[in-house]
Amino acid sequence: MAAREVNMVKAVTAVYPTVGAAENVYDELVADGFEQEKLFLDRDHMQVKVMTPDSGYREVEEVLGRHGPSDLWSTQVQ
């Protein structure tokens, strides 16, 4: 029996200094074709969270990093 590949998912979260910066990141992710169902904008905490497979992590990190986050982290989810 062949081993089944498991596609792990990461929750990538970034915190921004302003709500406007967080909104700009969210808008850029939508414009870049990320599924809105996998994007979360928390205006109260000025955070953007993206659910992405491991294979998309670098692209997400690049977009989030372009807008000067004060913090950026990821957690593995299933």
Query: pLDDT by residue (tens digit) across 2-17?
Result: 445 567 899 999 999 9
The answer to whether residue 1 scores a pLDDT higher than 70 is no
Full 3-state SS string of 4-68:
CCCCCEEEEEEECCCHHHHHHHHHHHHHCCCCHHHEEEECCCCEEEEEEEHHHHHHHHHHHHCCC
Query: pLDDT by residue (tens digit) across 16-72?
Result: 999 999 999 999 999 999 999 999 999 999 999 999 999 999 999 999 999 999 999
Domain architecture of the chain: domains with CATH: 9-77 (3.30.70.120)
